[in-house]
Structure 1
Amino acid sequence: MIKNPILKGFNPDPSIVRVGDDYYVATSTFEWFPGVQIHHSKDLINWRLLTRPLDRLSLLDMAGNPNSGGVWAPCLSYDGDLFYLVYTDVKSWHITSNVTKDTHNYVTTAKNIMGPWSEPIFLNSSGFDPSLFHDDDGKKWLVNMQNDFRKGKNPFAGILLQEFSLEEKKLVGPVKNIFKGTELGVTEAPHLYKRNGFYYLMTAEGGTSWDHAVSMARSKEIWGPYEVDPQNPMLTSAKNSELQLQKAGHASLVETQNGEYYITHLCGRPLRPEMKCNLGRETSIQKVNWTEDGWLRLEGGGNEPRLEVPAPNLPEFKFKRVRCRNDFENTELNIHLNTLRIPPDESWLSLKERPGYMRLRGQESLSSLHRQSIVARRQQAFRCEAETCIEFEPDTFQQMAGLVCYYDTNDYIYLRISFDEELGKTLTIHHMESGEIDEPLDEEIQIEGWVKVYLRVNIFNQSIEFSYSEDGVNWYKIDKVFEAGQLSDEHNKLGFTGSFIGICVQDLSGMKKHADFDYFTYFELDE
């Protein structure tokens, strides 16, 4: 059996493709760098994070992008010769539907899934969720949702279709709106497939929250008209709050070597009873079958996602477990570590200046949309622990370094070292909630003379607790407990990401004071 979710913790909008005996799933990364996560499997049971292709500024320049901007809904495909990665770089958006959005769509290609990936080709900016379909006559077609910002119009105005020419490196020919969606509304995330003479259009509808769903339509001609599945939606969690996998929608289809079919789809697992998904939107998989009259159905019937589904008739293939401890002994970042909006470079992050340490130079504040010195990883379990050891000698209260639980610039909990004119080196917590800053401790903790400062965070389902130590053996717990549900889309109401845990440095004096981090660990506990 396959146990869901297969990709835990902020891995939304999955696009799956099979090449030979290998399966790849690409997921959204939003404002985190590098852009796009690609996981790999050989059996659909066991998965590993393989590569993150948008790893240079020419492919992805996000400085100044808004919270939950950046990379939305990539599509990974293969035409027998090249891998194609289509993605959106969202430069502006607003939760209000009828507002203009800047959604620039690109495609990059590679002979090998590990790259190198080509310089991006600009496609259009008419909407997001672009997807590339390779027809059996050699033609390539781009579909994406269309954004209509005009008053009184449906902002999710339907699915656009246009031919793409790799030779000309651009979209060519007419543009047509081929599908206006169903009564579920919020029609997005299009993928085209072809089977038995029909073009099948798979879309997401209902919005990417509790009413999310997968809709199917089909046509004998690629230009339509498209007939909607009479039992639509084919997958949803809507109206059943008891399901462990909520938000089911935004799916893509794959056929195994043996003719079995599966869909990967977005889902969320809420903390209860708060119903807040602090792990973000995740990826699950369901086995599906084709009916005699040519419609896609979940194996076992119904249209609700299951926690366990039958595995394909393939040999099991397990991967070596990835270490959760980062001792910074290598000169490249661990694949699970991310930076925010900007790529790491020696001007602010070095693994060479002091071997065995990560040296971070302070840049802008945790409120910045441009240049933050932060390195973080996804929280991927409801119960986990993270720890670091810092050497940092601030000269002013404007210099800070520490351990942070981060959702975006409006919501984070930051255990940080800084300086007070009377106390010297100090430790306290900055708590930002919904854009309002709070200092929850009655007074800063004096740590003057401490060469090393050990910081730890423990997350137990709904609660976030911090501790600190001078020697890494004797720990002092901070009494204040924070709510993990704060670091979620549901609390923020303006985002699509999830909770990260990381290390960071700020220097608002402009002196670029550095901190040295001896290690950063992340361990998941039994759930």
Structure 2
Amino acid sequence: MTIKNPILPGFHPDPSICRVGETYYIATSTFEWYPGVEINASTDLQNWSVVARPLDRAQQLDMRGEPDSCGVWAPCLSYHDGLFWLIYTDVKRYDGNYKDTHNYLVTAPSIEGPWSDAIYLNSSGFDPSLFHDDDGRKWLVNMDWDHRGNSANPRSFFAGIILQEYDPEQGKLVGEVTRIFEGSEAGFTEAPHLLKHDGRYYLCTAEGGTGYGHCITYARADVLTGPYVLPDKPNVLTARDEPDAPLQRIGHGQLVQGEDDTWWHTFLCSRPLLGRPFSPLGRETGITKAHWNDGWLVLEDPQHTTRTDGFYEDSETYAFDGALPDAFQWLRSPDKDRLFSLTDRSDALRIFGRESVGSYYEQGLVARRQTGWRYSAETLVDYSPRDYQTMAGLIAYYNRHQFHYLYITVCPKGGRQLEIQSCNGDWPEGELTFPLEAPVDLPDGLIELGVDVDHSGLQFRWRSVGGDWCPTGPLLDASLLSDEAGRGDRANFTGAFVGMAAQDLNGSGLHADFLGFSYRNRKE
């Protein structure tokens, strides 16, 4: 079977995989996007669909106030004792020496739920993973973060992998903490997963940082607590020595055994724009075959199975008829009723104007992933702004410092007008630019807004219902909506989204109604 990579295109990093019967499940990180953790399912490893986003209430996850690219990091999904077990980190801080990483566990009898309340585990580091040993005991492993590190040597913050037993009867960690692995020469040792094969314990980690030096590393031991020894070539999968390969930044994955005794390994990766080191699609999920050789795992090179044209079949017209389609998420807040409604108007997604596009707390912004290098998106807006503090429209968004926004607002004379604002990766100031030479006066009635992206070019457009499309503003730089723009790929961990937004900087919550949304990847 030949599988085309990536299998989960667009923002789908840190893939944890497990199999239950004939079905494979992959859990990926969602960072500041709500609900937390995305789980996709497949029976053939090629065609996947969203089946759950388990962290959907405040008791499990509340990210209000958390910076960009914090929130949910590196989930681990497993199935044992008739339950799905999901481990995850909620990162409260990124900058400086401290991270404030809190690790939790939720369980469910079915992938669709109901998912339990969260059980707090520890805060010593991120990327936790739960290992079910064959003697019935359960063990938590996570990387250990050392706040005494030196920013001149970022590796010094990564203090190895630690192990502690989890007691499900008591619902807490018990016993001593054991440091079981210091890492290979690649450094930045994180994302641990344990497995047992032919009587030996194997530890999989991600190393080399999340940028272009990323890799997957394996070590093994005869007993659970180690010592874990490295093979001659411990970094079993990486693209760091292949600068021209279509898949870059390969790392952070997990092994799964198929029904027919095949072995498969997930990994994250990115596909930079041709000729440019920018990845608007973010870190995607790939998979490759694996096999055992003389007691060590060997991973096949996935480069020859890559979608080199950047195209992925993804075309959907969404009607907002009482339920939010699975493709869409929002930012940070578990209190979605303050952000939007699908019942106040039966044919629309009503978004309440809240804080600015730069807010860490409450944004009226609902969006879906960009999954191809070329796409077009449209939405129909019913909106009556009150003043220049109120606005609503179509947004191409990476984070609070990286976005392009086409919106309806009020001109000084009182009529509606169309404007564009961009934030071009200016961190930490977040200064806006306004690329339109002059705002566009709008007629009364519904307004349709559109955007076309072709690699690094982004063009907005608008029309009245039944009218002709009018290009709006200059060709904008879509490559800034990428991990490598702004602060760069060591601090940006998500991917580009496109969606709908509303702001009311007066604080009165003026709403905008969006009567549908369409998205289509293009080959040309």
Task: Judge same fold: TM > 0.5, yes or no.
Answer: yes
Question: In the alignment, what sits opposite 1:308?
Answer: 305
Q: CA deviation at 1:423?
A: 5.4
Question: In the alignment, what sits opposite 2:367?
Answer: 376
Q: CA deviation at 1:322?
A: 8.3
* In 1: Cα distance, 2:479 partner to 2:315 partner: 27
Instruction: State the one-letter code of the partner of 1:213.
Output: C
* In 2: Cα distance, 1:460 partner to 1:473 partner: 24
Hey, which bits of structure 1, 4+ residues long, moved more than 3 A? 343-348
* In 2: Cα distance, 1:73 partner to 1:38 partner: 12
Is the CA contact (8 Å cut-off) linking 1:454 and 1:472 kept in structure 2?
no
Is the CA contact (8 Å cut-off) linking 1:212 and 1:237 kept in structure 2?
yes
* In 2: Cα distance, 1:144 partner to 1:491 partner: 29
Q: Is the alpha carbon distance of 1:501 and 1:198 closer, same or farther for their aligned partners in structure 2, counting shifts above 3 Å?
A: same
Q: In the alignment, does 2:503 pair up with 1:506? A: yes
Q: Is the alpha carbon distance of 1:472 and 1:384 closer, same or farther for their aligned partners in structure 2, counting shifts above 3 Å?
A: farther
SS at match of 2:484: helix
Q: CA deviation at 1:377?
A: 0.4
Q: In the alignment, does 2:121 pair up with 1:123? A: yes
Question: In the alignment, what sits opposite 1:281?
Answer: 283
* In 2: Cα distance, 1:345 partner to 1:274 partner: 38
Q: 2:440 aligns with which of 438, 441, 445?
A: 445
Question: In the alignment, what sits opposite 1:67?
Answer: 68
Instruction: State the one-letter code of the partner of 2:105.
Output: V
Q: Is the alpha carbon distance of 1:214 and 1:322 closer, same or farther for their aligned partners in structure 2, counting shifts above 3 Å?
A: closer
* In 1: Cα distance, 2:435 partner to 2:478 partner: 16
* In 1: Cα distance, 2:55 partner to 2:283 partner: 21
Q: In the alignment, does 2:373 pair up with 1:390? A: no
Question: In the alignment, what sits opposite 1:313?
Answer: none
* In 1: Cα distance, 2:163 partner to 2:448 partner: 55
* In 2: Cα distance, 1:323 partner to 1:234 partner: 36
Instruction: State the one-letter code of the partner of 1:345.
Output: K
Q: Deviations over 1:214-269 (max 9, x none)?
A: 11000001110001121221100002111101011101000001110010000000
SS at match of 2:9: coil
* In 1: Cα distance, 2:335 partner to 2:518 partner: 19
Q: In the alignment, does 2:425 pair up with 1:428? A: no
Aligned pairs for 1:221-236 within 5 A: 221-236=223-238
Question: In the alignment, what sits opposite 2:336?
Answer: 345
Question: In the alignment, what sits opposite 2:474?
Answer: 480
Q: CA deviation at 1:395?
A: 1.3
Q: Is the alpha carbon distance of 1:11 and 1:323 closer, same or farther for their aligned partners in structure 2, counting shifts above 3 Å?
A: same
* In 1: Cα distance, 2:297 partner to 2:417 partner: 60
Aligned pairs for 1:100-499 within 5 A: 100-152=98-150, 154-291=156-293, 293-299=294-300, 304-308=301-305, 324-329=316-321, 331-343=322-334, 345-422=336-413, 424-433=415-424, 434=426, 435-447=430-442, 449-492=443-486, 493=488, 494-499=491-496
Aligned length: 506
Q: CA deviation at 1:81?
A: 1.3
Instruction: State the one-letter code of the partner of 2:340.
Output: L
Is the CA contact (8 Å cut-off) linking 1:279 and 1:498 kept in structure 2?
yes
Q: Is the alpha carbon distance of 1:305 and 1:209 closer, same or farther for their aligned partners in structure 2, counting shifts above 3 Å?
A: farther
Q: Deviations over 1:448-471 (max 9, x none)?
A: x42111100001111111000012
Q: CA deviation at 1:427?
A: 0.3
* In 2: Cα distance, 1:188 partner to 1:323 partner: 36
Is the CA contact (8 Å cut-off) linking 1:372 and 1:506 kept in structure 2?
yes
Q: Deviations over 1:117-156 (max 9, x none)?
A: 0000000000000000000000000000000011458201
* In 1: Cα distance, 2:475 partner to 2:231 partner: 49
* In 2: Cα distance, 1:386 partner to 1:56 partner: 30
* In 2: Cα distance, 1:323 partner to 1:358 partner: 20
SS at match of 2:260: coil
Aligned pairs for 1:14-33 within 5 A: 14-33=15-34
Q: Deviations over 1:92-118 (max 9, x none)?
A: 012x5xx11110000000111110000
Of 224-233 and 279-288, more deviation after overlay is shown by 224-233
Q: CA deviation at 1:512?
A: 1.2
Is the CA contact (8 Å cut-off) linking 2:437 and 2:473 kept in structure 1?
no
* In 2: Cα distance, 1:294 partner to 1:91 partner: 40
Of 137-146 and 51-60, more deviation after overlay is shown by 51-60
Question: In the alignment, what sits opposite 2:309?
Answer: none
* In 2: Cα distance, 1:402 partner to 1:195 partner: 53
Q: CA deviation at 1:355?
A: 1.0
Q: Deviations over 1:267-296 (max 9, x none)?
A: 0000122210110000000101100x2101
**Which runs of 5 or more residues in structure 1 are unaligned?**
310-320
Q: Deviations over 1:367-421 (max 9, x none)?
A: 1000001100000111111100111111110000000000111111000100122
SS at match of 1:480: strand
* In 1: Cα distance, 2:40 partner to 2:314 partner: 13
Q: CA deviation at 1:344?
A: 5.6
Q: Is the alpha carbon distance of 1:443 and 1:479 closer, same or farther for their aligned partners in structure 2, counting shifts above 3 Å?
A: closer
Q: Deviations over 1:70-105 (max 9, x none)?
A: 0000000011411100000001012x5xx1111000
SS at match of 2:485: helix
Q: CA deviation at 1:306?
A: 2.4
SS at match of 1:469: strand
* In 1: Cα distance, 2:337 partner to 2:94 partner: 32
RMSD (CA atoms): 1.4
* In 1: Cα distance, 2:291 partner to 2:339 partner: 51
With normalisation by structure 2, the TM-score equals 0.94
